[in-house]
Amino acid sequence: MRVLSAMQPSGQLHIGNYFGSMLPNMARATKAETSVYFIVDLHALTTVQDPALLRQFRMDALKDYLACGIDPTRSIVFFQSDVPEHTELAWILSTVTPMGLLERAVSYKEKVEKGIQASVGLFTYPVLMAADILLYDADVVPVGKDQKQHVEIARDIAVKFNNAYGETFVLPEPEIQANIAVVPGTDGQKMSKSYGNTIPLFGSEASIKKAIMGIVTDSKGMNDPKDPQSCAIFQIHKLFLSASEAQALAAEYASGLPYGEAKKRLLLTYMDHFAPLRRRREALTEADLRDVAQNGAKRAREIAGRAMERVCKAVGLR
C-alpha cells in the first residue's frame, strides 16, 4: 500500500496541521509499504507571490516535517517543484477535465469568498492536485472532510482519462477517519492559514502566547459556569490530554474556571508538549535540508517518471 500526503507552504505550521494531518499520517506510515510526503510549493503560488517569502515558507515546511518526526529514510520527502512531472501531468489531465467538474469545486468558491484572487491557477488547482495524487499510484489519500472533494475530483479525472485512453491510473480512495481531530481556530472556525486564525507550532513564544490569549470566548462572567463543548480553549486543550484529564478539565469549566486562567493553562501545556520538537527543529542545518530534498526528489522522480512514460505512451506522445 502507498500512502500520500502533502502540505502547502503558505505560512507557519499550526496545530491544526499537526493534530489533524501530520500525527495520523505518521501513524499510517508505519503500516504502508511506501509513504510519500511532499511540500506543494506550486500550489502555494496561488496565494504567496512574494519570492523571498515563498523561499522561506518552503524551507520552514521541510523543517516542520522533519521536526515533527517524519523519517526521510523510511518515507519519500520532497518539494513538488523539484519533480517537473507534476506540471506535465497536470496539463495532460486538464485536456480531459470537464469545466463543470471544476466549477463544482467547493474550495474554490470558499477561497474566493475569503478574498483570495480568483486566478486561473486557483480555479485549476484540483487538476494539479489530481496530478499530485495520480503520479504516485496512491491507493490511499488521507484527507480531512473539507478535502474529500479534491480526491473525488482526482478519481473523476482518472476515470475520464482511463475511458479515453485505456486503463492507466489507479483510482485513489480518500481516507477519512472519524477520530481525526478537527482543531478550532482562535475565532472558533476550523483552524486554517486561509482564515488567519491559527496558533503556530514553531513560532516564537510571544507569538504563540498572543494567539492563545486572543482566542475568542463568549460573554460569560469570570466565575460563571462555562460550556466546554462550545469553548475553543477547551477543544484545543483536550488534544493534549488523556480522556480522564480532559474530563477533569471539563468539570472545572462547568464549575466556573475563568477564561483567562484557562488560556494560561493551555499555554503552559502547549509549550511543554512541543518543546522537544522545537529543539529538534533548531538542530537542523541547511545541509540536512538540502540532502533530504535532493534525495527525496530523486526517489520521487523514479516513480513519477514511470507513471509519465505510461501516460505519454497512452496519449500518443511516445
Domains (range + CATH), the chain: 2-181+286-315 (3.40.50.620), 203-281 (1.10.240.10)
| Edge-to-edge strand ranges of the sheet holding 173-175 | 76-79, 34-39, 2-7, 140-142, 173-175
Residue with cell 474530563: 247
Name which of 244, 12, 85, 220 is nearest 233 in CA terms: 220
Residues recognised as catalytic? 111, 190, 193
CA distance 294 to 292: 6
Q: How does DSSP classify residue 189?
A: S
How confident is the model at residue 180, as a pLDDT? 66
How confident is the model at residue 177, as a pLDDT? 61
Strand locations in the chain, DSSP E? 2-7, 34-39, 76-79, 140-142, 173-175
pLDDT tens across the length of the chain (318 residues): 777 888 889 888 899 989 988 888 787 767 667 789 999 999 999 989 999 999 999 999 999 999 999 999 989 999 999 999 999 999 999 999 999 999 998 888 888 887 888 899 999 999 999 999 999 998 777 776 667 888 899 999 999 999 999 999 989 877 776 556 679 999 999 898 778 899 999 999 999 999 999 999 999 999 999 999 999 999 999 999 999 999 999 999 999 999 999 999 999 999 999 999 999 999 999 999 999 999 999 999 999 999 999 999 999 999
| Three-class SS state of 287 | helix
How confident is the model at residue 178, as a pLDDT? 57
CA distance 4 to 34: 9
CA distance 120 to 274: 39
Name which of 71, 133, 135, 89 is nearest 303 in CA terms: 135
Distance set, CA 225 to CA 218, 230, 256, 258, 294 (Å): 12, 12, 4, 9, 55
Distance set, CA 149 to CA 89, 141, 144, 162, 279 (Å): 20, 12, 10, 20, 37
Residues 6 or more apart from 289 whose CB is under 8 A from it?
A: 59, 62, 63, 66
Name which of 217, 199, 222 is nearest 269 in CA terms: 199
